[in-house]
Each structure stands twice: as structure tokens, then as C-alpha cells.
């Protein structure tokens, strides 16, 4: 009987192709939006999660930080030096390695080409902390650090932009007007969400401090690596305690530094992704509501148009429930057809978006989004189909047969 | 033997406005035997349509009793009536009332769908019924691909397919030219000879001549009941 009704419904929908298409437009747009947005948001979180995993999920960033509000203002000068970092290394058992990191923007010049890049002062362990290594040449070593040599390692993107020779090792570039010898080139990372990741210059931390002075040294951040990903939270606690003691903070005072883990970063990303999903869900529910009203409208028209058919069906023995089922199934089928078209359209849009955005991990629609779209469109059909179907089922057979 | 149809002192009244009641049937009693061929005649407004709706179980009387095959119909609800119509009544309408998007077989098997009969058996029975009305070659034509006479044959096949107790024909030739009308009436004569009980509602005397018994209504009452040919059982 259900199958019978399904065939009848498909026939009726096919007989009124144009009308059915227009009617289901709301549902088509609604489901297309769900699929497209979910796939894009999922892609974004995937990209960011991958990036974070690349960075090493046991990496912790410690930066000087003035807390907002009155409490923050009362703290006086905010300083953090590499002494703090060394203390962390000594006292925190969950920490393995750490590198100080200071950063300035500066002009980098080679021959006639020049550009602005971030210049980072780091120590040799940077590679292990970031899980990110040189591709060609070498990283500067402890001797470069202690000797404050003018050596540098460049990001892969700098190569082309400054028209450096294919093998730039041993060449000199001007960093803020001072000649630095290139000893290595980092492996390429590409782009993340339109952000160039390969354009930077690394120099020894000691050299950077010598060049930039004490202001910068007092504002040193550090990258710390926890022993295992599971120990990240514990390591963060240990760092927090060590630094609070070193900075002589009383219990009621807020910390004058910030310890951020990748976990927190991921949490934030997930929050944003969820936020976007909720907003879209809101918009989509309006589209589905409009679509549902369209379906109800067209079903009411259909019931009126087919009054004689209903009368006849009742005359030959259809019960109320038969007529009710027929029209509800027709409404649900109509909504589902719209849902299927919408899903196809959403997949198309998502796939095109995936093509257009660089570094995309590949197009993906989670099964739950498909299930949700099917579920919602049939629920809309069911909800908005019941009233017209009930109206049809209550028609009086005698009057219906006489209906012109 | 009790009659197939036994209507006793039935009235049917409709509320028209606040305090006006119109009696479409006013104390009608009639019994119809199995295998009879009855014409119900009368001018418009005589109550013949109302009587037909009652006999066809599309409606229930206001007062009085109607038993069909010994079962009391007057107190049944909509769904019970639908079941009785499905099993016992075959309708033949003036305007055929075929489903435009369905072919002949699908139209004929409609009552079987609601009887809950399997797809295979339905198809088989529908094809048999179409063969019986001489439409064996048009099984998969749609109504708009057939002539008026052929459409009415499809409708008759649909009425027959469930082996109902009564064939109820309401002006079955009203939309047909006289030659085609004659063919349809000949077909109904055949069906009657094969043992079907036929009730024919018409206002044409020529048609009524085919019936064995003619009942005339006027103003909601039976004014004459004439048997042209005796029951042959």
C-alpha cells in the first residue's frame, strides 16, 4: 500500500513537473545550504586541525600578557625574559624542550629585490619544538647562538620572491640593513586559509637580542614542548606555577603572562565552527518553513483539483486512512525529491568551494548531514502534508463525485 | 429467503437553512432480490439520486432501516461503509470517473487495491474483467486514448472486478451517443444474464425497458413499482 502510494505520488509529481519544482524550491535551497555549509565548515576545521597537528599537538606557547581591566593595570611593567624560560625547563618535569621567540617585521633585501617579512629570533631547538625542519642546508647551531653570528634560515617562500639562486646557501641577504649569511632553507608549508606560511627569516635568538636591544629581550615569548600530548595540560599548570612564583604574584593577582595550548586553540576553532553551523541552521529552518508552507499550499490545491478522484476512491472502498496516507505520502515524496535535489546541489557547491580554496583536505560531507537533510525534508513534508491530507480524507464522497 | 436489499420506511432529510428541512426521501420501502434488474426512474428532485446513494452505501438514512445481505447499514460509520462499498457495490457513473493518469488495468484494479489484494492477483483479475467487457486489447491505454464507449467499459470492468452483490449504474449512457449507449446496455444485459444484480438509475424510458422491474419516484416517495418480466429463478 505504501509502495502503491509512492508510485502514485511520483506520478502526480511528474505530471506537474514545473509546479512541483517551484514548490520544492524552498526545500531545495534549505538542504543545499545545509550540505554546502556543513561541508565547508567541516573542511575548515579539518584544515586547522591538521595544521595544529603539524605544529605538534604538544606545543605550548607562553607569552607576556597584560590581563584586561583594573587588575591588569595594577601589575606595572610586564616583562618576561629567557631566564623565565630556562627556569621553566629546570623546574617543570613535563616539559622537554623550549625555545625563546622574539619577532619583528623588517625589510629583507637581496640584490635589487626587497620585501617585508617577519624576522624571528629563535634557538636551534626551534625545529624540534615546532616539529618543522630545514629542507636544504642546516639550521643555525648552538655556536651561532653563543657567538651571536649573523646567520639566518629562510622560509621557502622567500626564495622566489627575492629571486634568490636555486641554491642560496652561503649567500648574504640584508636583514634590516645588516648582512646575514643564509645557512638553510625551511621545508615548504604552503598556505593556510590564504595566509602565506613560508615567508619569514629565522635568526639566532642572541643575535636578535643584540640587534633589537633590551626592550625586546624583556618581551620574550617561548615555545615549549610537553613530553607527550597527554601531558600538555599538566605541563601548562607547571609553567603557570613556576612563572607565578618567579614573578612574585600574590594569589589574588592575575598572571602577567598567557599559557596557550593547541587544545585551547582547537576548542576555539570548534566553537567558531559550531557557531557558524548554528547560524546556518537558523537560516535553513526558515527556508524549510517557507518550503513547507509551499508544499502545504500546493497540496491544498492538489486536493481541490482531485476532489472527484478522492470521491471515486472513497466510492470504490478507500477508507479515510487510505486517502490520508495517499496525500501525506505525496507531500513527503515531494519534500524528499526537493531534499534530494538540494543535497545534490549542496554537494556541487561544496565540491566547487573545495576546488577553489587552496590546501583543502578534500571534499567531504559527513553522513550525519545527509541523514539530517533527509530527515528534515521528510519531516517538513509530513508536518505540512498532514493538514491537506486530513482535509482530503474528510471529504464527503457524494459531494466529491458531483464536484465540477 | 430474505431479499438482497431490504429498505424499510426510510426517510432522508437535509437541513436547509435554520428551520427548513427538506425530505429527499419520505417513507420509502423497497426490497430487491438477488439477480433482479431494477430501473429507478423519476424526474430530477424526485429523490432517485438520494435513494441510489443510500443503496450504494455512500450515505445512511435519517430514519428507517436498510439491510444489505442481512447486515444493517444505517448505523455504520464511514470506514465500515467504505468496506461494504468495496465488497458489495460496483458503481457505474454517467461521467465514468476514471483516473486520467492511470491505464485501463490500473483503473480497474483500484477497488482491489483497497481490498488489500496482492499486486499479482490484482493484475490478473483486472485483466479478466477487461476481457469480460470486450476490452482485452486496450489494457494499457489511458482514458484519453479511448472512446467514450470504451471508457464506460473500463468503468464497468472496475465495477465488476470485486464480484460485488450489486451493480449500481447512474445514467450510464448519459454521456454517450445512442449507438454506443445501446452497446453498453447490451453489455449490461449480458452481465445480468450472468447472474449480476443490476440497479439502473435513469430518467429515460427507453433505458428502463431493459430492466425487469421499474420503480418510479416522485417527491421522495415511490409512486409505482412495475415488474415487466418475472424473476426467473
CA-based nearest residue in chain B for residue A309:
B99
For chains A and B, CB pairs below 8 A equal: 55
Rg (CA), chain B: 18
Closest by CA position to B213, among listed B196, B200, B226:
B226
Contact between B47 and B217 (Cβ < 8 Å): yes
- pLDDT, tens digit (0-9, with 9 covering 90-100), for B156-166: 999 999 999 99
> Are B99 and A309 within 8 A, CB to CB?
yes
Residues B97-102, mean pLDDT to the nearest whole number: 91
A401 in contact with B at a CB cutoff of 8 Å? yes
- In terms of Cβ atoms closer than 10 Å to its own Cβ (0-12, 13-18, 19+), residue A367 is exposed
Q: Calculate the dihedral angle through the C-alpha atoms of A127, A128, A129, A132, rounding to the nearest 10 degrees.
A: 50
Residue A275, classed as helix, strand or coil, is helix
What is the least distance, in Å, from the CA of B48 to any CA of chain A?
14
Q: What is the ipTM of this complex?
A: 0.93
Query: The pTM is what?
Result: 0.73
Chain A neighbors of B86, CB-CB under 8 A: 316-317
- pLDDT, tens digit (0-9, with 9 covering 90-100), for A185-213: 998 877 665 567 788 999 999 999 999 98
Q: Which of A265-279, A389-403, B43-57 has the lowest mean pLDDT?
A: A265-279
**What does DSSP assign to residue B143?**
G
CA-based nearest residue in chain A for residue B96:
A312
**Res. B233: pLDDT tops 60:** no
Cα first-last separation, chain A: 29
Q: How far, in Å, CA of A64 to CA of A226, rounded? A: 19
Q: Which of A60-74, A259-273, B61-75, B168-182 has the lowest mean pLDDT?
A: A259-273
Q: How far, in Å, CA of B141 to CA of B98, rounded? A: 12
> Are B101 and A15 within 8 A, CB to CB?
yes
- In terms of Cβ atoms closer than 10 Å to its own Cβ (0-12, 13-18, 19+), residue B186 is exposed
Residues found in chain B: 233
Q: How far, in Å, CA of B102 to CA of B123, rounded? A: 13
Q: Cell 622566489 belongs to which residue?
A: A160
**pLDDT for position A195:** 65
> Are B86 and A314 within 8 A, CB to CB?
no
DSSP bridge partners of B167: B90, B198
Residue B82, classed as helix, strand or coil, is helix
Residues A164-174, mean pLDDT to the nearest whole number: 89
Residues A291-304, mean pLDDT to the nearest whole number: 92
A397 in contact with B at a CB cutoff of 8 Å? yes
Closest by CA position to A363, among listed A376, A373, A350:
A350
Residues A20-48, mean pLDDT to the nearest whole number: 85
Probe site for chain B from A307, A316, A404 (most B CB atoms < 10 A): A316
Interface of B with A (CB under 8 A): 53, 56, 58-59, 78-79, 82-83, 85-87, 91, 93, 97, 99, 101, 110-111, 113-116, 158, 162
Q: Cell 445512511 belongs to which residue?
A: B60
Closest by CA position to B14, among listed A395, A398, A402:
A398
> Are B59 and A320 within 8 A, CB to CB?
no
- pLDDT, tens digit (0-9, with 9 covering 90-100), for A4-17: 788 888 888 888 88
> Are A318 and B158 within 8 A, CB to CB?
no
Question: C-alpha cell of A125?
Answer: 631547538
Chain A neighbors of B99, CB-CB under 8 A: 309, 312
CA-based nearest residue in chain A for residue B117:
A1
- Beta strand pairing call for A113-122 and A201-204: parallel
Amino acid at each position: 500500500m505504501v509502495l502503491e502510494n509512492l508510485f502514485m505520488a511520483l506520478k502526480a509529481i511528474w505530471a506537474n513537473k514545473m509546479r512541483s519544482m517551484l514548490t520544492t524550491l524552498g526545500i531545495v535551497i534549505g538542504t543545499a545550504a545545509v550540505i554546502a555549509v556543513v561541508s565547508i565548515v567541516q573542511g575548515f576545521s579539518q584544515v586547522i586541525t591538521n595544521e595544529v597537528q603539524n605544529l605538534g599537538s604538544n606545543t605550548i606557547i607562553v607569552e607576556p600578557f597584560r590581563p584586561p581591566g583594573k587588575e591588569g593595570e595594577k601589575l606595572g611593567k610586564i616583562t618576561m625574559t629567557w631566564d623565565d624560560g630556562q627556569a621553566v625547563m629546570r623546574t617543570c618535569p613535563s616539559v622537554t624542550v623550549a625555545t625563546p621567540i622574539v619577532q619583528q617585521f623588517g625589510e629583507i633585501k637581496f640584490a635589487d629585490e626587497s620585501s617585508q617579512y617577519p624576522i624571528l629570533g629563535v634557538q636551534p631547538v626551534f625545529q624540534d619544538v615546532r616539529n618543522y625542519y630545514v629542507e636544504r642546508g642546516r639550521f643555525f647551531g648552538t655556536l651561532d647562538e653563543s657567538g651571536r653570528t649573523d646567520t639566518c634560515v629562510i622560509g621557502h617562500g622567500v626564495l622566489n620572491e627575492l629571486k634568490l639562486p636555486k641554491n642560496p646557501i652561503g649567500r648574504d641577504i640584508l636583514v634590516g640593513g645588516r648582512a646575514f649569511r643564509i645557512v638553510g632553507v625551511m621545508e615548504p608549508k604552503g598556505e593556510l586559509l590564504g595566509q602565506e606560511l613560508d615567508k619569514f627569516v629565522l635568526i639566532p635568538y642572541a643575535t636578535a637580542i643584540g640587534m633589537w636591544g633590551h626592550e625586546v629581550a624583556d618581551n620574550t615569548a617561548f615555545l615549549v614542548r610537553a613530553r607527550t600530548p597527554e601531558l600538555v595540560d599538566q605541563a601548562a599548570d607547571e609553567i603557570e606555577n613556576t612563572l607565578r612564583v618567579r614573578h612574585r604574584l600574590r594569589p589574588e593577582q592575575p598572571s602577567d603572562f598567557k599559557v596557550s595550548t593547541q587544545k585551547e586553540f582547537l576548542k576555539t576553532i570548534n566553537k567558531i565552527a559550531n557557531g557558524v553551523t548554528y547560524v546556518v541552521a537558523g537560516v535553513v529552518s526558515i527556508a524549510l518553513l517557507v518550503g513547507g508552507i509551499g508544499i502545504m499550499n500546493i497540496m491544498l490545491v492538489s486536493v481541490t483539483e482531485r476532489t472527484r478522484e478522492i470521491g471515486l476512491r472513497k466510492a470504490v472502498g478507500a477508507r479515510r486512512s487510505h486517502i490520508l496516507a495517499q496525500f501525506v505520502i505525496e507531500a513527503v515524496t515531494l519534500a524528499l525529491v526537493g531534499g534530494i535535489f538540494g543535497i545534490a546541489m549542496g554537494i556541487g557547491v561544496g565540491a566547487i568551494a573545495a576546488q577553489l580554496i587552496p590546501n583543502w583536505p578534500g571534499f567531504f560531507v559527513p553522513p550525519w548531514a545527509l541523514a539530517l537533510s533527509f530527515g528534515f525534508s521528510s519531516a517538513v513534508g509530513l508536518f505540512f502534508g498532514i493538514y491537506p491530507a486530513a482535509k482530503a480524507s474528510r471529504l464527503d464522497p457524494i459531494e466529491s463525485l458531483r464536484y465540477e | 429467503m430474505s431479499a438482497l436489499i431490504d429498505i424499510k420506511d426510510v426517510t432522508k432529510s437535509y437541513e436547509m437553512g435554520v428551520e427548513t428541512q427538506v425530505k429527499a426521501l419520505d417513507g420509502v420501502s423497497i426490497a430487491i432480490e438477488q439477480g433482479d434488474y431494477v430501473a429507478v426512474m423519476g424526474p430530477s428532485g424526485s429523490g432517485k439520486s438520494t435513494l441510489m446513494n443510500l443503496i450504494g452505501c455512500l450515505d445512511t438514512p435519517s430514519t428507517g432501516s436498510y439491510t444489505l445481505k442481512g447486515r444493517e447499514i444505517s448505523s455504520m460509520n464511514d470506514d465500515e461503509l467504505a468496506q461494504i462499498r468495496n465488497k458489495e457495490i460496483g458503481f457505474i457513473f454517467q461521467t465514468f470517473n476514471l483516473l486520467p493518469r492511470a491505464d485501463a488495468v490500473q483503473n480497474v484494479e483500484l477497488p482491489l487495491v483497497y481490498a488489500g489484494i496482492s499486486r499479482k492477483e490484482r493484475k490478473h483479475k483486472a485483466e479478466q474483467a477487461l476481457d469480460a467487457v470486450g476490452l482485452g486489447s486496450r489494457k494499457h491505454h489511458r482514458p484519453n486514448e479511448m472512446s467514450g464507449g470504451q471508457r464506460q467499459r473500463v468503468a464497468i470492468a472496475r465495477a465488476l472486478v470485486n464480484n460485488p452483490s450489486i451493480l449500481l449504474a447512474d445514467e450510464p449512457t448519459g454521456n454517450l451517443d445512442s449507438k454506443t449507449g445501446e452497446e453498453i446496455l447490451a453489455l449490461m444485459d449480458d452481465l445480468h444474464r450472468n447472474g449480476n444484480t443490476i440497479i439502473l438509475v435513469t430518467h429515460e424510458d427507453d433505458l428502463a425497458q431493459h430492466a425487469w422491474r421499474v420503480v418510479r419516484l416522485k417527491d421522495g416517495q415511490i409512486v409505482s413499482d412495475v415488474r415487466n418480466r418475472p424473476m426467473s429463478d
